[in-house]
Amino acid sequence: MRWTLKPKPSEDKIKHLAQALNVEEFVAQLLVQRGIETFEQAKNFFRPSLEHLHDPYLMKDMDKAIARIEKAIENDERILIFGDYDVDGTTAVSLVASYLSSFYPNVATYIPDRYTEGYGVSFKGIDYADDNEFSLIIALDCGIKSIDHVAYAKERNIDFIICDHHRPGDSLPEAAAVLDPKRNDCNYPYDELCGCGIGFKLIQAIGTNRNQTIEDLVPYLDLVATAIAADIVPITGENRVLAYFGLQVINNNPRPGIKALVHQIKKQKLDITDVVFIIAPRINAAGRIKHGNQAVKLLSEFDFEQAQQFASEIEQYNADRKDLDKQITKEAFEQIERNQEQNRYTTVVYQEDWHKGVIGIVASRLIETYYRPTLVFTKSGDKYAASARSVKGFDVYNALEACSEHLEQFGGHMYAAGMTLKEENYAAFKEAFELQVQKTIHPEQLIPEVEIDAEINFSDITPKLCRILKQFEPFGPMNMTPVFVTKNVIDTGYAKKLGAEEEHLKLFVKQNQSEGIAAIGFGLGNKIDLTTNQKPFQAAYCIDENEWNGKTSIQLRLKSIQ
């Protein structure tokens, strides 16, 4: 681990904000590091409001999209809501379909099969629309590069409205409307929405035409918050407002499908991390193991008993997914060791029988060990298909673009992408990708980083500080949980390893004359020697609350120790 202390903003800005808010200077420093410099900005940050959401009609083509939907309703046309099979896609489809269905009956949903159709808009999906007399397809979380597909649909008198958040190519599909804040000619004030977020802006615009207020649409925000958490988009601006209110819906009055998932895990109050690690993997498991339709059925179901039935099926898919993930990860490790590829700049592995639904998770697991841009390939029909994952600060999408002569197709983001190629191009692509990464990655990016917000003493950790930090939530990219560093820490003699393989570290620590604080370090069991015999060390950590037997106490969640 390399430790990086974030640059300290100017003393004047920190002092000014600390006085305005009546908080300690290091708290003001945390806010300024997040771009919050005035009382007004701090008020908006600590008190998110639905009034902070932008007018959906500021998005390019929104007027065209609404006109086309209203025309379809007027003419009693059949509307097909099409979305990808991941969390962002299935939540978006559930959101738009359940909203439109609340006042218009001719609405159906379509999720492509991960294995027979692959990612995004498919010709099979368009044929389905044609065979079943749909004349309008609303594509969510996909479609921005589907130029041929949209043209194919047009020949069959089917219009498209595209709601996507991925980067467009050089030209756009000839759709009735293309909603994507990342379009160069779109001046929408916030361009980091996820696919479900764009879907929400669409129903917000429809709602304004029907004299609905934003409060009328709040029940849909449990889906939006789930997608924001799962798609790892920045929790800033509009996303922060949507996630904040969406979490309230999840905790207080979720739709039956989400309630059924939460019901199984028996946790009282969920935060954004719980959504990432508990709700999202289960929704994803449907598309990975069975079919994304199962997730849409769960999320669109309004009978709780039926939702519980769907949720228990999805729980089984998730258990199957875990077993596959474990097995494939083990085989991938063996392949890397066998081929002596530990010292490359990239990890690229292939086995023809690996389950396509879990290769993305396996890529993330490999990064935890080798920490470098990673691609995991499997056989898909007569092609090789891969999931890509990246390390902090390195744009894997750009690296793939530079090697695109070897690829059939690819798409995605800076940190996660998917691609297919012909079998005969695999070896050439593997080398081209390795050379491209060697050429463009900074050596430091191959060492995992702990980014530290501020240095503090244990005496600074008070109940008041914990209350303030709680108001920084929801956490996520661009608003991560603050990480602090404290020097001259000693363990009071209670250090021990925890876990089946003794992989975790439990300490009880002090600094100078401070009271002792419990600390837990997941995956830090091998660092126990640094803490013995009251040797001083420095700790990088987040401040957590630990609930045990009805009592709440402060606990440090260790990120690293030196």
- Is there a common fold for 2-8+451-561 and 56-313? no
Please state, as a whole number, how many other Cβ atoms lie within 10 Å of the Cβ of residue 152: 16
Alpha-carbon gap, residue 448 to 415, rounded angstroms: 15
**Cβ–Cβ under 8 Å, residues 95 and 225:** no
> Closest by alpha carbon to 53, among 185, 228, 205?
205
What element of type H or E holds 235?
none
The predicted pLDDT at position 74 comes to 97
pLDDT tens profile 194-239: 999 999 999 999 999 999 999 999 999 999 999 999 988 999 999 9
- In sequence order, the β-bridge partners of residue 349 are 376
Alpha-carbon gap, residue 469 to 471, rounded angstroms: 5
pTM over 0.85, yes/no = yes
What element of type H or E holds 557?
strand 551-561
List the chain residues with pLDDT less than 70.
266
pLDDT tens profile 118-152: 778 999 999 999 999 999 999 999 999 999 999 99
Identify how many contiguous H helices and E strands the chain contains and give both numbers: 20, 19
Residue 134 region, left (φ>0) first, then alpha (ψ -120 to 50), else beta? Answer: beta
Here the tokens at position 516 are 């002792």
Alpha-carbon gap, residue 492 to 263, rounded angstroms: 40
- Domain ranges in the chain are 2-8+451-561, 56-313, 339-446
- Could you say which architecture CATH assigns to the domain 2-8+451-561? Beta Barrel (2.40)
Strands (E), 308-364: 347-350
Q: How many CA atoms lie within 13 A of 133 on its CB side?
A: 4
**Cβ–Cβ under 8 Å, residues 14 and 29:** yes
**Cβ–Cβ under 8 Å, residues 422 and 461:** no
Backbone dihedral angles phi then psi of residue 97, each to the nearest 5 degrees: -65, -45
The predicted pLDDT at position 406 comes to 96
* Terminal Cα distance for the chain, rounded: 10
Cβ neighbors of 343 (< 8 A, separation 6 or more) are none
Strands (E), 265-392: 347-350, 374-380, 383-389
Here the tokens at position 190 are 């916030």
- The CA distances from residue 446 to 177, 219, 439, in Å, are 41, 43, 13
The predicted pLDDT at position 409 comes to 87
Cβ neighbors of 162 (< 8 A, separation 6 or more) are 139, 143, 144, 146, 150, 173, 175, 177, 178, 179, 180
The predicted pLDDT at position 119 comes to 79
Q: How many CA atoms lie within 13 A of 325 on its CB side?
A: 19
CATH topology of domain 339-446: Diaminopimelate Epimerase; Chain A, domain 1 (3.10.310)
**Which DSSP string do the residues of 189-232 spell out, in sequence order?**
S-----HHHHHHHHHHHHHHHTT--HHHHGGGHHHHHHHHHHHT
The predicted pLDDT at position 126 comes to 97
Here the tokens at position 75 are 């003419």
Question: Is the domain covering 56-313 a CATH 3.90.1640.30 domain?
Answer: yes
Cβ neighbors of 26 (< 8 A, separation 6 or more) are 454, 456, 460
> In this structure, is the dihedral angle defined by the CA atoms of residues 322, 324, 330 and 336, taken in order, positive or negative?
negative
Strand 416-422 with 409-412, pairing: antiparallel
**Cβ–Cβ under 8 Å, residues 197 and 227:** yes
The predicted pLDDT at position 54 comes to 97
> Closest by alpha carbon to 419, among 405, 430, 409?
409
Backbone dihedral angles phi then psi of residue 172, each to the nearest 5 degrees: -105, 155
